[in-house]
A = this chain, B = another copy of it.
Amino acid sequence: MPRESDIIAGLKKRPSVKRDVLLGIGDDAAVIKTGEGRELLACCDLMVEGVHFRTDWSPAGLLGRKALAVNLSDIAAMGGVPKFAMLSLALPEWCSDDFIAELFDGVFKLAEATGVSIIGGDTSSSRDSLFIDVSVIGECETGKAVTRRGAKVGDTIYVSGSLGASALGLSLLEKGFRLDDSQDPNDARPQAVRKHLVPEPRLELGRALGHAELATAMIDISDGLSTDLWHILDESGVGAVIHASAIPVAECVTAIALEGNTIDHLMLALNGGEEYELLFTASPGKTQEIEKLSDLPGVKIYGIGEIVARRDLLLARNDAFESLSPTGFEHRI
């Protein structure tokens, strides 16, 4: 089977896009021209049992919630507002009425909380795995969609939130750790697992950056900081230097590392996937405005580096530089 990145590269070459498609395959969402001061955004994201999740890792409600959340994160990364969602489910025989109702509850609760209407979908039986595919339609003001293409030499590189927890949570789940009600939710392990199972799409931040035209390029971190930053660099035709000391490593990752576990917490933060934080670039002249957005509830923003002309991604650590290749993270449990 070919890699997803190869499939996307092949698809981008196919000439099947009309004039009203401002941006087609290959960004967080497509951008469609409409005539009324708005543009439509559209994206879809697929979760497959055994590849993206295991049903013993998570209550059904969190599965449904995550299937929608990762799509909302794509709309956030375009600077847009999500409006409508459709949900396709292939359900194996073991899925009970209760399981399905709980899965839908997870989807509908997050939809309600984010102003999204569930407008349709499809269901089927499945011989084996559970498949959940969600597509979302959103919108932004004309010309304000934030693509991966606009990073300019001299721009500052920012990331929201902190990194590494989702990958750590995944590895804890693989080792048998499970969420339960007896845990203190502030403990490092439940925190890491919740970051993986209950991602928080940065809708308010993405929207603020898009509306005020502050971000020159943006992506959500689904494949890992290094890989996703490479997506911006490739699309924008530039390079970057990021600073090891500035990478915001999640507290729960540091805490577990301090217990004597052999975790390279910087590598987790650089390469861990499914963070669903926003990675974006902005002109140095916008620093104050960006810092003000750190007042948005629940979101801190960290400057982690600069865009440079040389087509490379360098990590500055202890006065030395190392070249970071994309790790090519692809979902595989």
- Residues of A whose CB lies within 8 Å of any CB of B are 1-2, 4, 7-8, 10-11, 14, 16-18, 20-21, 24-25, 29-30, 32, 34-36, 40, 42-52, 83-84, 86, 88-97, 100-101, 104, 108, 111-112, 115-129, 131, 133, 135, 137, 331-332
Task: Give chain B nearest CB distance to A81 CB in angstroms.
Answer: 12
Contact A51 B119 (CB under 8 A): no
Contact A25 B121 (CB under 8 A): yes
Q: 13 A-B Cβ contacts within 8 A?
A: A14-B104, A14-B118, A18-B83, A20-B117, A30-B86, A32-B84, A42-B120, A45-B122, A46-B88, A48-B125, A51-B90, A122-B133, A124-B331
A10-B101, A133-B88 are contacts. A21–B119 as well, Cβ < 8 Å? yes
Contacts of A116 in B (CB 8 A): 16
Tell which of B120, B123, B124 touches A29, judged by Cβ atoms closer than 8 Å. Answer: B120
Residue of chain B at shortest CB distance from A96? B1
Task: Give chain B nearest CB distance to A34 CB in angstroms.
Answer: 7
Contacts of A18 in B (CB 8 A): 83, 115, 117
Contact B46 A118 (CB under 8 A): no
Residue of chain B at shortest CB distance from A47? B124
Contacts of A47 in B (CB 8 A): 124
Contact A122 B50 (CB under 8 A): no
Contact A51 B129 (CB under 8 A): no
Contacts of A10 in B (CB 8 A): 101, 104
Contact B119 A30 (CB under 8 A): yes
Contacts of A123 in B (CB 8 A): 4, 7-8, 46
Task: Give chain B nearest CB distance to A124 CB in angstroms.
Answer: 5
Task: Give chain B nearest CB distance to A233 CB in angstroms.
Answer: 21
Contacts of A96 in B (CB 8 A): 1
Contact A83 B20 (CB under 8 A): yes
Task: Give chain B nearest CB distance to A27 CB in angstroms.
Answer: 8
Complex CA gap A46/B86 in Å reads 12
Task: Give chain B nearest CB distance to A264 CB in angstroms.
Answer: 27
Contacts of A117 in B (CB 8 A): 16-18, 20-21, 24
Complex CA gap A122/B332 in Å reads 15
Contacts of A20 in B (CB 8 A): 83, 117
* Known A1-B96, A43-B120; further 7 A-B contacts with Cβ < 8 A: A11-B104, A16-B117, A20-B83, A36-B36, A42-B119, A45-B122, A48-B131
Residue of chain B at shortest CB distance from A74? B120
Contact A24 B125 (CB under 8 A): no
Task: Give chain B nearest CB distance to A153 CB in angstroms.
Answer: 29
Contact A86 B128 (CB under 8 A): no
Task: Give chain B nearest CB distance to A214 CB in angstroms.
Answer: 25
Residue of chain B at shortest CB distance from A6? B97
Contacts of A95 in B (CB 8 A): 1
Contacts of A43 in B (CB 8 A): 86, 120
Contact A118 B84 (CB under 8 A): no
